[in-house]
Amino acid sequence: MEANEILILAMFGSFIVLLFVGIPVAWVLGGVGVAFAFIGYYSDIYLDTWTGLDFTTLGLVVNRLYKIMDNWILVALPMFIFMGNMLDKSGVADRLMHAMQALFGRVHGGLAITVMAIGIILAASTGIIGASVVLLATMSLPAMMKQGYNLPLALGTVASAGTLGILLPPSIMLVIMADQLGLSVGDLFMGAMFPGLMLGAIYIVYLLIMGVVKSDSLPLPEDAKGVDWAVIKDVAKAIVPTFMLIIVVLGSIFAGIATPTEASGVGAFGAILLAVYYKRFSLAVLKEVLLDSYKTTAYIFAIFIGATCFALVLRELGGDEFIESAFEALPFGPYGIVAFILLVIFLLGFFLDWIEITLIVLPLLAPVVLGLDLSIGDYPGLDNPELVWFVMLVAMALQTSFLTPPVGFALFYLKGVCPPEVKLMDIYKGVIPFIILQLLALVVLVFWPNLILWLPSIAYG
C-alpha cells in the first residue's frame, strides 16, 4: 500500500475517533486536515515519500473559503433558516393542531395522523428539524399520553413527523447538496416533492392500519365528534395562510419566476407577515429569531470551513481516485454498487450527522455513480438525471440518520422535552417501524426513478 493510501485511511480513522471523543465536528474536520497536511509534508522530507502535500495546500483553503462566502446559492441558507424560525414563533403549528385534531377526531389514531399531517405542512414551510420535533412533541405528546396511546408509537410518530423537513423543499440539505455537486437547486426541490409527500403518505397509511389492527394502541378520545362545516372552515382558516406562503416560495422557484435565493428572501418576509397576521410579532421575537438563525447558520458554515480543509487535503492525497477505484473493484453490477453506497450511507448515519456526510462523503461518491452504466430512462433537457436521482436516494437514506441511534438528533431533541418517565429506550422502540418505512420508500425510489425525475423533467418540456 502506498503512502498516500495509508494517509487517506488514517485521515478517515482519525476523523471518526476524534468525533467520538466529543470534539466539535468543525474543529475535527479542520484540525485533521491541517494535521495531515503537515504529516504529508514532513513524511516527504524524512521518510522519502511523495504525497504532494506542502504549505501551499493549506494556502488554497483560503481561496476556497472566499468562493464559499461569495456563493450566491448559499445565501438561501440563512434566509430559509430565518423563515423556519419565524414561522415557529408565529403560532402556525398550534393553530393547525387545534383545527386538524377535530378533522380526524373519530378516526382511531386521529391525533397521530394530525401530528403527521402537521409535520408535512411544517416540512414544506420551515425545514428546521429541531424546531419541528420540539414543537410537535410539546403540543401533541401530553395529549397522546393522556388519551392512552401506546407510548413508543406516539414517540415514533412525533420524531418521524418532525424530520420530514430535511427531505421536503425548501430543505437546507438539498441546497447544500446542489452547491456541492453543481446541480440546480430547483431540480432537487422538484425532485424531492413526490418522494417527500410519498414518505408522509406511507407514514399516514401505516398509522391508519395500526388504528385498525391495534385500535387499543391508538384509542379514540372520549369527546370525539363528527366533522361538520364549522370544523372544515376552521381547518381552512388554519391551513390557507401557510399554504399561500408555501405556494409563493416553491411555486416561484418551479415556475422559473425566482431563483431559490430570491425565493428564500420572499419566504423570510412572508414568515414575518404571518407572524404579524397572527399577532405574534414583536421586536423581542425578531431578536430571538435573528439570534437563533445566526447560531444555526454559523454552525453550518463552521462545518463548511472545516470540511473544505479536510476535503482539499484528502483530494491532494488522491482520495477521489482511491475511493472510485475501490468501488469499481466491487464484484457487483451498476445497481449493486448503488445499493452498496446507500448501505454505507445508511450505516454512516448511525454515527455521523447529515452535514458531514453531505460535505465529505457525497462529493467523493458522486463521480463513482456518474461512471456507472445506469439505465434510468430518457429525460430530455434535464442535466445529469442520474446524479439528480442518486442525490435524492442519498437524501432519503439520510432521512434515517435523524432517527437511528446512537446519535440521531431527533431522538435527543425529543428526549429533551419528554416527561421524566419517558425513557430513551421507549424512543428507540418507537422509531424502528418508521426507519423500516423510510427504507421501504428508498427501495421504491430505486426501482421507480420516475417519481424523482418526472417533475423536474417536465419543467423543460
Helix (H, G, I), strand (E, B) or coil at 48: coil
pLDDT band at 13 (very low <50, low <70, confident <90, very high): confident
- pLDDT at residue 199 above 80? yes
Mean pLDDT rounded to a whole number for the chain: 82
| Spatial contact of 99 and 288, defined as CB atoms under 8 Å apart | no
| Distance (Å, whole) CA 406 – CA 78 | 29
pLDDT band at 202 (very low <50, low <70, confident <90, very high): very high
| Distance (Å, whole) CA 127 – CA 123 | 5
∠ CA 178-181-184, rounded to 5°? 40
Q: Which cell goes with 56? A: 501551499
CA 74 vs CA 166, 284, 304, 387: distances in Å: 16, 27, 11, 20
pLDDT of residue 301: 84
Q: Where are the domains of the chain?
A: 3-70+300-404, 73-296
Where does residue 279 fall: left (phi above 0), alpha (psi -120 to 50 degrees), or beta otherwise? left
∠ CA 162-291-30, rounded to 5°? 80
| Spatial contact of 317 and 51, defined as CB atoms under 8 Å apart | yes
| Distance (Å, whole) CA 261 – CA 74 | 8
| Spatial contact of 434 and 390, defined as CB atoms under 8 Å apart | no
Over range 314-335, report the average pLDDT.
78
| Spatial contact of 372 and 387, defined as CB atoms under 8 Å apart | no
Q: Which cell goes with 407? A: 446519535
- pLDDT at residue 51 above 70? no
Give per-residue pLDDT as tens, 214-236.
888 878 766 556 666 777 777 77
| Distance (Å, whole) CA 186 – CA 177 | 12
Where does residue 381 fall: left (phi above 0), alpha (psi -120 to 50 degrees), or beta otherwise? left
| Distance (Å, whole) CA 117 – CA 110 | 10
Contacts 24+ apart (CB under 8 A), 369-375: 369/337, 369/338, 369/341, 371/324, 371/328, 372/334, 372/337, 372/338, 373/334, 374/334, 374/335, 374/338
| Spatial contact of 36 and 58, defined as CB atoms under 8 Å apart | no
| Spatial contact of 93 and 118, defined as CB atoms under 8 Å apart | yes
pLDDT of residue 205: 93
Query: Phi/psi at 105 (nearest 5 deg)?
Result: -60, -35
- Give DSSP secondary structure letters for 288-306: HHHHHHHHHHHHHHHHHHH
Peptide bond before residue 170 is cis, with ω within 30 degrees of 0: yes
41 Cα distance to chain centroid: 37
b/e burial code for range 350-386 (CB count within 10 A of at least 16 → b): eebbbbbbbbbbbbbbbebbeebebebeebeebebbb
CA 271 vs CA 43, 226, 234, 279, 280: distances in Å: 55, 33, 21, 12, 11
Give per-residue pLDDT as tens, 265-281.
888 898 899 899 888 89
pLDDT band at 413 (very low <50, low <70, confident <90, very high): confident
Give per-residue pLDDT as tens, 353-370.
778 788 888 888 888 888
- pLDDT at residue 302 above 70? yes
> Within the chain, what is the greatest distance between any pair of CA atoms?
82
pLDDT of residue 412: 75
- pLDDT at residue 206 above 60? yes
CA dihedral of residues 204, 208, 213, 217 (deg, nearest 10): 80
Q: Between residues 100 and 260, which one has the greater pLDDT?
A: 260
- pLDDT at residue 327 above 80? no
